[in-house]
């Protein structure tokens, strides 16, 4: 294995975190369209995707896991799941607020 410059490693992590941001934004938008919820929380969804991806990726690297475990796949799953959950909770609030 050859050494990688720390700057290159951070750049790779940053690019992947931005990918998580866009995954969260896209997921939040798609789920809000499907559930017909106002699209006000898309910035939160993007931040949830970004933070979810970054923290999951770093935790998966730090915590000893099986050798065939892919931290990138786990991070993408979390980056997609957190905004979807946020939209589902917004949908629940939206439906109960409209019934009143």
User: Residue 22's pLDDT is what?
Assistant: 87
pLDDT of 27-60, one tens digit each?
888 888 888 887 777 888 888 888 988 898 888 8
The whole-angstrom separation of Cα 56 and Cα 84 is: 16
Instruction: Express each pLDDT in 68-78 by its tens digit.
Output: 888 888 888 99
The CA-based dihedral angle spanning residues 68, 55, 20, 16, taken in that order and rounded to the nearest 10 degrees:
-60
Q: What is the pTM of this model?
A: 0.78
């Amino acid at each position: 294995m050859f050494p990688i410059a720390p700057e290159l490693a951070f750049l790779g992590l940053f690019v992947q975190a931005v990918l998580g941001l866009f995954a969260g934004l896209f997921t939040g938008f798609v789920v809000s369209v499907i559930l017909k919820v106002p699209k006000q929380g898309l910035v939160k969804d993007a931040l949830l995707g970004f933070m979810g991806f970054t923290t999951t990726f770093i935790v998966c690297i730090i915590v000893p896991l099986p050798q065939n475990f892919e931290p990138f796949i786990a991070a993408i799953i979390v980056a997609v799941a957190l905004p979807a959950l946020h939209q589902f909770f917004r949908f629940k609030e939206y439906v109960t607020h409209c019934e009143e």
